[in-house]
Chain A
Amino acid sequence: MNKFSSSTLGLLALAAVLLCLPLVLPNTFYYDVAIRIAINAVVAIGLNLLIGYTGQISLGHAGFFGLGAYASAVLSSRYGWPSALALLAAAGATALLALLVARPVLRLKGHYLAMATLGLGIIIMIVLTNEAAFTGGPDGMAVPPLVLFGWEVSGEKSWYAVCAAVLLFITWAAVNLINAPGGRALQAIHGSEIAAFAVGVDVTAMKIRVFVLSAVIASVMGSLSAHYVGFITPGIAGFQHSIELVTMVVLGGMASVFGSIVGAVLLTLLPQFLSTLEGWETVAFGLVLMASMIFLPKGVVPTLRARLRRGAA
């Protein structure tokens, strides 16, 4: 079963799940959880292109998520821009910042790269906290509803439709990229930068492009999430959120698009189930993180796929 057809199978399965879910979800609270999972999954897929496929680390991607959310919110509420335009402008601004920072940052390796991206995320959060005139400061700010080509997206059902469509599209696109020359060049960089050089890959340029791509995906989802929740605080750009995103990628499975979706499902559901633990949630969350990384270093999906293949062989 070569890689390509297993992905089309995966895509069909995902489409089927997304279509049938509405029949099963009892009330809008479950829609809300599904929407948050979809948003996290798309950001995780984008981040996986950077971490899993190209082998670069980013501990600050929530910064781009927060930047997208706030740029959209400020442009649409304080300057009256139509929300679709604000979303694109936000993505453009995030792309610009990512481009500016990517060149020097991506020269770094391993822990230094982790440190630089971590620092970047925290700087973004501190700026969002201090520039209260624009961002409303630590208490956050309200975000007007999303208007897409005249249609105001309101209510869980329409938001579920939008987010499910975006998730399906990004999954399809990511699978395409992985099997396209560009995707192979990224994976070659992760495999061996020297081999990539030897076949003519401009390693730095490719790293920058995938860094900007994953930043833009995070920004767009930040904007969508801001319009959906209706209120944002600087915390969404914080270190804790960045770590959750990285954990989704790694727990789901590095270099596995569907792994990122599984990772997003697990990490988004966990707080809901741990909420009944009265005070012990932090301990439980820490234990689950450690257990998953120790027993499943390769991630859920690759381990299951290996189990499947070994079982079938």
Chain B
Amino acid sequence: MKKRTLIALAAVWTAALALPVAAQNKDPIRIGAVLSTTGPAGYLGDPQLKTLQTYIAQLNQDGGVLGRKLELVHYDDASEAGKANGFAKRLIDDDKVDFLIAGTTTGATMAMAPLVEKAGIPLISLSGAVVVVEPVKKWIFKTPHTDRMAAEKVFEDMKRRGFSKVGLLSETSGFGQSGAKETRLVAQKYGITLVADETYGPKDTDTTAQLTKIRGVAGIQALLVFGLGQGPAVVTKNAAQLGMKLPLYQSHGVASNEFLKLAGPAAEGVRMPSPALLVANSLAANDPQRPLVTSYAATYWKQYKDEPSTFGGYALDALTLGLHAIKAAGGTNKEAVRNALEKTRGFMGTTGQFNMSATDHMGLDLSAFRMVEVKNGTWSLLN
């Protein structure tokens, strides 16, 4: 074993193991975050982390909260629920954080749930599935709309257009499958029968096979695609390629300008439920959400030269909700902060108006969603 190679290897290992561990000091309000900034859900977690970092820095310049500086301790769970569980334990036991903003994906949130409930520390989740808050868990709240709400908003619009035979094409990811489950549940409530039920893989590069099958279903009037990332864009382009005239609905998962860029002209006429953030400029002047969403969009653009995504908005709301509760509780006592969170009413966030209660740890209603349609390449608000 040549001397030189052994030293080189020792250097690699000591460099990896000797990284500075965050200094501990008592004062600041410590916010723990476990987000997926790499792996399949990486593009969801990335804007969430950037939003937290930007706003915490800004708040610290304005003197922090209750005169205490804010400190963010973040770990990346690489879209793996097992790692999220491990890092949550590190935040609770080792870093001793005051509250958690964690769980880009539903899987990660549910993996941390048993820990949080046992340790007794508030966690605000950024994941979409309704299972996060149903049945209600004492210490767990969430800011994103649920997939059930998205399905209901879509079915409301379909009923108005007289559609009753609808197809469902869902993604085999956490978001897609729980969305599909909720869609199947609420369909009858709106007198809609699902005449087709197909799936596609999150990283699929071609869905013409599934679409050809759906197109062949007799009497089908519309298609709901439940997924996020590149999948729905591939479906939209394939539908155009096949010359399908079927009205196409998407989930709030793709309510972002990235979808327009990817789908291109094929997206014309596509409808979806979307948070206010996407159509900030076309909101009515007196709309209570307008100032919030426009300032968030401006702040994010100034910092990253990129449009904010709805998923980043969930993180901002979680941060403001958490700090609002700490102010209301006058400190970072976990039980007090939890109670304050539960009593939050009429709180305006980028996602919508939060009216929490002992039985509803999300507090959003259908008004938080706006139906939008793609008209000549941009989003237009439908009322």
Show the binding face of A for B, using Cβ within 8 Å: 26-30, 32-33, 36, 129-130, 132, 137-140, 142, 225, 229-233, 235-236, 240, 266, 269-279, 281-282, 284, 287-288, 291-292, 295-296, 303, 306-307
Contacts and interface: CB of A to CB of B under 8 A. Distances in A.
Interface stretch (B104-112, B249-257, B262-270, B328-336): B104-112
A266 B1 CA distance: 21
Contacts of B86: 32-33, 36
Nearest to B79: A235
Interface of B: 1, 5-6, 8-9, 12-13, 16-17, 19-22, 37-38, 74-76, 78-83, 85-87, 89-90, 92-94, 105-107, 110-111, 113-115, 129, 131, 172-174, 176-178, 181
A276 B21 CA distance: 8
B149 to A, nearest CB: 17
A193 to B, nearest CB: 30
The 8 closest A-B pairs by CB, nearest first: A29-B93, A29-B94, A230-B114, A231-B111, A233-B81, A295-B9, A139-B174, A138-B174
Contacts of A269: 17
B81 to A, nearest CB: 4
A155 to B, nearest CB: 9
Given A29-B94, A266-B13, A273-B16, 14 more contacts: A29-B92, A32-B90, A32-B93, A137-B174, A139-B129, A139-B131, A142-B110, A229-B82, A231-B110, A235-B107, A236-B82, A276-B19, A276-B22, A288-B13
Nearest to A229: B85
A89 to B, nearest CB: 23
A241 B4 CA distance: 32
**Listed residue (B80, B93, B107) with the most chain A CB atoms within 10 angstroms of its CB:** B107
B34 to A, nearest CB: 10
9 contacts: A33-B86, A130-B172, A137-B178, A139-B106, A140-B81, A142-B114, A229-B111, A233-B82, A271-B83
A233 B74 CA distance: 22
Given A235-B81, A277-B19, A28 B177 contact: no
Contacts of B22: 276
B71 to A, nearest CB: 14
Contacts of A130: 172
A158 to B, nearest CB: 14
B93 A27 contact: yes
A138 B75 contact: no
Contacts of B20: 276
Contact of B1 (A137, A232, A307): A307
Contacts of A282: 38
Given A291-B9, A291-B12, A138 B94 contact: no
B107 A233 contact: yes
Nearest to A141: B110
A56 B81 CA distance: 30
A271 B106 CA distance: 22
A276 B17 CA distance: 11
Nearest to B132: A139
A138 B16 contact: no
Given A139-B131, A229-B85, A273 B19 contact: yes
A163 to B, nearest CB: 14
B5 A295 contact: yes
A291 B5 CA distance: 10
Contacts of A284: 16
A140 to B, nearest CB: 5
B6 A235 contact: no
Nearest to B7: A295
A231 to B, nearest CB: 4
A184 B309 CA distance: 60
Contacts of B110: 139-140, 142, 231
Contacts of B21: 276
A232 B107 CA distance: 8
A231 B94 contact: no
A295 B89 contact: no
Contacts of A29: 89-90, 92-94
Nearest to A270: B16
Given A139-B107, A229-B111, A307-B1, A275 B76 contact: yes
B8 A295 contact: yes
A303 B1 contact: yes
A159 B75 CA distance: 24
A42 B110 CA distance: 26
A32 B89 contact: yes
B96 to A, nearest CB: 9
A243 B78 CA distance: 16
Contacts of B87: 275
Contact of A232 (B81, B94, B172, B181): B81
Contacts of B74: 278
A27 to B, nearest CB: 4
